[in-house]
Each structure stands twice: as C-alpha cells, then as structure tokens.
C-alpha cells in the first residue's frame, strides 16, 4: 500500500523545490550577466537611455530577457521564504510550540541575526533525537546560518542602490554571490530534512514498524503449596484411611466367620465361645 506523505513532509518538499528554483533563476541571471550584460550596459549608455534613439530596437530583446530574469529571481526568492516559513510554522505546531516567536525572530532587527537559528535548534531538540546526533546537528546548523548571513551580505552589497560595481555589469551579481547562495540553499534544505526526519522518527513507535499483536498465553495455575495449617488435615485423612481399611478387614473376617457357622453347628451343635460377642463387635465396627 502506498504511503501518503504528511502535511509537514509536503511542506518540506515545497522548500526543496523553491530553493532549487531560486538557485536556477539566479544561475540564469549570472550567465546572462556574463554573456550579454556588459555589452548591453555599453549599448544602453550610448543611447543615453532614450528608447527612440537609433539602435534602440536592437536591444529590446536583451532588455526584456534581463527584466524577466530579474522578476524570476525576485519571485523565486519570495516563494522560498514563504515555503520555508510555512514549513517552520507547521513543524512548530507539530512540536507543540508557539508560532508567533518564529515569525517575529525573522523580522526583528538585530535579533534576526541569531534568534532564528536558536529557535530551529530548539525545534530539533523537542523531537528528542539520539544524543550522538547532537554534534553533527550543531555543526550543520552553524555552517548553514553562517553561509546564509554571508550570502545575504554579498547580495545586498551588490544590489544596494549606489553600490560600486564598476558600472560594467547590470546587477554586479557574479559567480561568488551565486556560489554563496547555492551553498546556503543546500545547507538550508539539509536542516529542513534533518528536523523533518527527527520529528517523523519521534512520532512513530520505537523499533520502526509496529509489532504484530500477540495474544498473551494464559499463565499456568499455581501449584498448591503446602503450609503448616494443612498438616492436621493430612493426619486426619491418614487416620480415616486406617480406620476404613481396618473396617474392611473386620467385615471380611466376619463374613468368613458367618460362612463357617453351619459347619460348626453341624460338628458341635453349639456356638463357639465368644462368637456372638465377636460378631456384634465386627458389626459395630463396620457401621
């Protein structure tokens, strides 16, 4: 049976796609900058920015491509931010944490330089992962956050109004900025994957798959234990058994005596001395 991904896993997949789209769009912009950017800057500067100047129609196509690439970079950057915040809020809700501090940490001045990473670390800790994974997670979190700050600084310096980049490029974004953004995006996806994995592992039973239900076997009846109170009963039973066996022996003897009476009467014609008393004693004993 095919498993249905949880909403949190879907949110994590959206982060991966958005980050990939951002890196691809930025790569296309850098390639255009290197292939056509400098020449396009010279051509536009020669026309003085006049769209009706001679030769303006020759650069319309290149300007349009550049505008589309700028829009793609901006849209994918916003999509990546929205996808990441959506995943973060879902993860915090799944962990039972408040969502407001996570949003405020990204927009609070000065605090947004440290606090977002701290809250992501706390989110990882709430899943209670194995202790041996802690050093690797801290290393991943630290490298991601430093790479993110580095990429942010490089891009803002290039795109800041009036930033000096020689006037030979359209935006000034080159391979260095692209590499920084790509590394930060890759490490960001790794942190999202790590938090999602530890939360998924914490939500299912230990041992992976659920164990098959096994009916408990009935416990054997405990053997009766002898105790001091049972000794008089055993003695009484032994006495009763002895009396019953003695009674059986007495009855057998009485039957033999009664069988021998006719013979005694025929021989002597009198009852042997003590026979009547013995018969009565045997009868009373049998009763």
Q: pLDDT per residue over 35-85, tens digit each?
A: 887 777 777 766 666 666 666 676 778 888 888 999 999 999 999 999 999
CB 26 within 8 A of CB 175: no
Q: What is the pTM of this model?
A: 0.66
Mean pLDDT of the chain: 77
Q: How many CB atoms lie within 10 A of CB 82?
A: 13
- Residues 30-48 pLDDT 10s: 999 888 877 777 777 666 6
pLDDT tens for residues 187-223? 999 999 999 999 888 765 544 444 444 444 555 555 4
Report the C-alpha gap between 29 and 181 in whole angstroms: 13
Q: How confident is the model at residue 245 (pLDDT cuts 50, 70, 90)?
A: confident
Q: What are the b/e assignments for 253-287, b being 16+ CB within 10 Å?
A: ebeeeeeeeeeeeeeeeeeeeeeeeeeeebeeeee
Rounded-to-integer distance, Cα 103 and Cα 196, Å: 19
* Residue 178 CB-density burial (10 A; 0-12 exposed, 13-18 middle, 19+ buried): buried
Decide: 247 and 281 in contact? Cβ < 8 Å. Answer: no
Please give the Cα distance from 122 to 272 (Å, whole number): 113
As a whole number of angstroms, the distance between CA 43 and CA 48 comes to 9
């Amino acid at each position: 049976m095919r498993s249905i991904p949880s909403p949190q896993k879907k949110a994590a997949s959206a982060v991966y796609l958005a980050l990939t789209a951002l890196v691809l769009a930025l790569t296309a912009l850098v390639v255009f900058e290197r292939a056509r950017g400098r020449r396009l800057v010279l051509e536009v500067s020669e026309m003085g920015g006049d769209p009706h100047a001679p030769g303006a129609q020759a650069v319309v196509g290149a300007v349009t491509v550049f505008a589309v690439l700028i829009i793609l970079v901006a849209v994918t950057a916003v999509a990546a931010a929205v996808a990441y915040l959506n995943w973060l809020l879902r993860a915090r809700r799944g962990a039972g944490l408040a969502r407001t501090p996570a949003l405020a940490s990204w927009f609070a001045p000065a605090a947004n330089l440290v606090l977002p990473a701290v809250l992501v670390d706390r989110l990882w800790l709430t899943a209670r992962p194995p202790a041996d994974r802690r050093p690797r997670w801290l290393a991943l979190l630290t490298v991601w956050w430093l790479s993110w700050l580095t990429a942010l600084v490089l891009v803002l310096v290039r795109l800041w109004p009036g930033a000096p980049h020689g006037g030979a490029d359209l935006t000034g974004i080159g391979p260095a900025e692209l590499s920084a953004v790509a590394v930060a995006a890759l490490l960001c996806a790794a942190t999202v994957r790590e938090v999602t994995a530890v939360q998924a592992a914490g939500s299912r039973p230990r041992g992976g798959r659920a164990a098959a239900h096994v009916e408990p076997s009935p416990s054997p009846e405990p053997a009766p234990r002898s105790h001091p109170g049972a000794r008089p009963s055993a003695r009484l039973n032994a006495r009763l058994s002895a009396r019953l066996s003695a009674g059986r022996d007495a009855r057998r003897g009485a039957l033999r005596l009664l069988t021998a009476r006719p013979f005694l009467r025929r021989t002597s014609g009198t009852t042997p001395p003590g026979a009547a008393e013995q018969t009565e004693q045997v009868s009373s004993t049998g009763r």
